[in-house]
C-alpha cells in the first residue's frame, strides 16, 4: 500500500474517532476486535483525511488566486511570493506532528492486522492517534487560512 494511501487511511480513522467521541462523549473501544476492525479503522482514517482536504483545499486555493490577482503577480511571482504562506516553521511543525501520528497509526494498524488475536487496546490507540491527527490537520488549515486572509487584508 502506498504511503499516501496509508496516510489518508490513517486520517480517516481519526475523524471517525473524533465523531464517535463527540457523539458518545467517550472513545469507542470494542470488547473484542478483529483484523477487519483495524483495516476498517485505517480505511475510515483515509476517508476522513480526504474529506478534510476536500472541504478546505478549494477555498484555500481560491484565496490564493484572489491574492495573486490583488497583487498583480505573474505565475512565477505567485509561486515565489506565496511560498511563505504555505511553507513556514509552524506549518513544518504541523507536518512533523502529522507524520508522527501517521507513523504510529501505520505501526499499530500493521500490528493489529498481523496479530493472530489483535490487541483491542491498540485499536483504541489507532483511533486516538487519528483524533489527534485530525486536530493537527484542522489547526494547520486554520493557520493557513489565517495567513492568506492576513495577506488579502493588507
Q: Which residue has the cell 500490528?
A: 111
Q: Of 97, 123, 96, 110, nearest to 41 (Cα)?
A: 123
Q: What is the pLDDT of residue 17?
A: 46
Q: Rounded to a whole number, what is the largest CA-CA distance in the chain?
A: 61
Q: Which pLDDT tens digits describe the chain residue by residue (154 residues)?
A: 445 444 444 444 444 444 444 444 445 444 688 888 888 887 887 788 899 999 999 999 999 999 999 999 999 999 999 999 899 999 999 999 999 998 998 888 888 778 788 888 888 998 899 989 999 999 999 999 999 999 999 9
Q: What is the pLDDT of residue 30?
A: 42
Spatial separation of the C-alpha atoms in residues 130 and 16, rounded to whole Å: 8
Cell numbers representing residue 138 in the block: 484542522
Q: What is the pLDDT of residue 31?
A: 61
Q: Which residue has the cell 511543525?
A: 93
Number of structural domains, the chain? 1
Instruction: State which residues form the domain around 49.
Output: 3-153
Torsion angles phi and psi, residue 95, rounded to 5: -65, -40
Cβ atoms of 91 and 140 closer than 8 Å: yes
Spatial separation of the C-alpha atoms in residues 11 and 45, rounded to whole Å: 4
Q: pTM for the whole thing? A: 0.73
The angle at the Cα of 39, spanning 107 to 124, to the nearest 5 degrees, equals: 65
Spatial separation of the C-alpha atoms in residues 114 and 79, rounded to whole Å: 44
Q: What is the pLDDT of residue 108?
A: 86
Amino acid at each position: 500500500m502506498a504511503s499516501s494511501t496509508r496516510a489518508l487511511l490513517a486520517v480517516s480513522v481519526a475523524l471517525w474517532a473524533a465523531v464517535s467521541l463527540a457523539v458518545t462523549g467517550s472513545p469507542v473501544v470494542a470488547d473484542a476486535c478483529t483484523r477487519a476492525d483495524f483495516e476498517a479503522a485505517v480505511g475510515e482514517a483515509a476517508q476522513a483525511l480526504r474529506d478534510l482536504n476536500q472541504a478546505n483545499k478549494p477555498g484555500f486555493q481560491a484565496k490564493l488566486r484572489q491574492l495573486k490577482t490583488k497583487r498583480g503577480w505573474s505565475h512565477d511571482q505567485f509561486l515565489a511570493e506565496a511560498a511563505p504562506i504555505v511553507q513556514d516553521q509552524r506549518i513544518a511543525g504541523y507536518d512533523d506532528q502529522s507524520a508522527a501520528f501517521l507513523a504510529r497509526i501505520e505501526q499499530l494498524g500493521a500490528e493489529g492486522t498481523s496479530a493472530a488475536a489483535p490487541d483491542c487496546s491498540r485499536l483504541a490507540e489507532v483511533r486516538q492517534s487519528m483524533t489527534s491527527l485530525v486536530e493537527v490537520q484542522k489547526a494547520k488549515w486554520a493557520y493557513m487560512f489565517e495567513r492568506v486572509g492576513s495577506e488579502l487584508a493588507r
